[in-house]
């Protein structure tokens, strides 16, 4: 909730909660992932006063996350594999994570602005938030891999 109040240069907001959705295990039931993502987004929406934005965006990411994860898994991967830099490798995890975070930011800010009259501000918000969120996720992943 604290990160939602940070707006670097009035454009970049760290949206770190998407990290929890992209870290869902491989064999987690899809309905459970959708419910977790929706209620987490609803909780975020209530406290950050973003009516339905996080809930819709996180639910979309939870819906496509299993299909994106399959693209980056090795054939002999465990059924309960949790995507991380240690399990997928740095290059595959980076591609997986950057794609989902970018999609999340595009959807989130498209719903928030709901028009493209000020497309430059929209693009700056998407790029800034994507970059700062990716940097924070890399920080968490590097910290977790050293433990």
Mean pLDDT of the chain: 86
H or E stretch at 40: helix 30-48
Which range marks the domain in which residue 9 is found?
3-145
What is the secondary structure of 61-126 as a DSSP string?
HHHHHHHHHHHHS-TT--TTPPP-HHHH-HHHHHHHHHHHHHHHHHHHHHHHH-S-TTHHHHHHHH
Residue 24 has pLDDT above 70, yes or no: yes
Of 76, 88, 74, residue with least CA distance to 23: 88
Q: pLDDT band for 18, please (50, 70, 90 cuts).
A: very high
Residue 37 has pLDDT above 90, yes or no: yes
Query: pLDDT band at residue 147, thresholds of 50, 70 and 90?
Result: low
Distance in angstroms (rounded) separating the CA atoms of residues 35 and 30: 9
| CB-based burial label for 53 (10 Å; 0-12, 13-18, 19+) | buried
Structural domain count, the chain: 1
Q: 113 falls in which pLDDT band (50, 70, 90)? A: confident
Residue 14 and residue 69: Cα distance in Å, rounded? 23
pTM strictly above 0.75: yes
pLDDT tens, position by position, 60-106: 999 999 998 888 887 777 777 888 888 888 899 999 999 999 999 99
Cα angle value 94/96/101 (rounded, 5°): 90
Q: Would you state the pLDDT for residue 70?
A: 87
Rounded mean pLDDT, 44-65: 92
């Amino acid at each position: 909730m604290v990160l939602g109040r940070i707006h670097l240069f009035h454009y970049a907001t760290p949206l770190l909660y998407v990290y929890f959705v992209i870290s869902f295990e491989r064999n987690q039931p899809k309905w459970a992932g959708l419910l977790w993502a929706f209620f987490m987004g609803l909780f975020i929406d209530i406290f950050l006063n973003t009516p339905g934005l996080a809930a819709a965006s996180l639910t979309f990411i939870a819906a496509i996350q299993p299909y994106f994860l399959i693209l980056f898994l090795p054939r002999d991967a465990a059924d309960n594999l949790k995507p991380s830099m240690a399990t997928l490798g740095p290059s595959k995890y980076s591609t997986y994570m950057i794609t989902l975070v970018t999609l999340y930011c595009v959807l989130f800010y498209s719903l928030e602005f709901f028009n493209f009259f000020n497309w430059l501000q929209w693009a700056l918000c998407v790029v800034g938030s994507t970059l700062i969120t990716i940097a924070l996720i890399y920080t968490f992943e590097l910290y977790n891999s050293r433990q």
